[in-house]
Amino acid sequence: MAAKASPIDIFRKKVLERGANSIKGIGRTFRIYDDDGSKNLNFEEFFEGVRDYGLELTEAQAKEVFCEFDKDGSGEVSIDEFLIGLRGDLNAARENLVKQAWKKADRDGSNVFDMNDLKKVYDVSRHPKFQNGDMTKEQIFNEFLKTFEPDEAQRDGKVKYEEFLNYYAGVSASIDNDAYFALMMRNAWKL
């Protein structure tokens, strides 16, 4: 007999059904509902965010998920901790690929991936929006860097390893097959 799926597993599945950027998307929604800017959500903010994001959960189901993350019983959950718990950790093989990609990305060894590094590894000339004149090289580079820094308030155009890892952990959460994840990373970063 198969083990019953946990509330977190059910919630994760519903979020991932929304696509590759789904965890980042629900994070953005939760930040909007963080009325006091504390980077924590009470249950009311959490449930409003879940409903606004379009997840069909009853209040009882949402409460069950919320309580899984409210370990100390304070009535609040950290948005960042929630998102990390939701996406899960990378397995060792996937994390190794992300580390290899980081070494290629951080060309100058400064422990920061920025515009200077990006210009050395990312050929914009084949990007469709550059080819049709919709975006400049600079705009495309900026958009690419933004993918690694989801929090606009803290966006500085300098991607740290943790932000890089978090981005790929989110991507990884929506890819079941290790071989496919490896292929995607090898193709994207020429590993």
If you write DSSP's letter for every residue of 81-137 in order, what string do you get?
Answer: HHHHHHH-PPPHHHHHHHHHHHHHH-TTSSSEE-HHHHHHH--GGG-HHHHTTSS-H
Number of H helices, E strands in the chain: 11, 4
| Whether the Cβ atoms of residue 8 and residue 86 lie closer than 8 Å to each other | yes
- Cα–Cα nearest to 9, from 59, 77, 61: 61
> What would the mean pLDDT of 87-92 be, rounded to a whole number?
84
**Do 53 and 112 share a structural domain?**
no
**Do 127 and 77 share a structural domain?**
no
**Do 120 and 179 share a structural domain?**
yes
**Do 157 and 170 share a structural domain?**
yes
**Do 47 and 96 share a structural domain?**
no
The CA distance from 91 to 167, in Å, is 15
Q: Is residue 121 part of a domain?
A: yes
- Report how many domains make up the chain: 2
pTM for the structure as a whole? 0.67
- Using a pLDDT cut of 90, give the percent of the chain over it: 30
Q: Is residue 49 part of a domain?
A: yes
Domain around 13 = 7-87
- Inter-CA distances, 107 with 96, 126, 146, 182, Å: 18, 21, 18, 21
Domain boundary among 52, 87, 122: 87
Q: Is residue 2 part of a domain?
A: no
> What would the mean pLDDT of 8-18 be, rounded to a whole number?
83
State residue 59's pLDDT score.
93
**Do 179 and 99 share a structural domain?**
yes
**Do 146 and 73 share a structural domain?**
no
Domain boundary among 87, 116, 143: 87
**Do 43 and 78 share a structural domain?**
yes
104-137 in b/e form (b: 16+ CB < 10 A) is ebbeeeeebbbeebbeeebebeebeebeeeebee
> What would the mean pLDDT of 128-134 be, rounded to a whole number?
91
**Do 107 and 46 share a structural domain?**
no
CATH of the domain at 140: 1.10.238.10
pLDDT tens digits for 170-190? Answer: 788 767 788 999 999 998 888
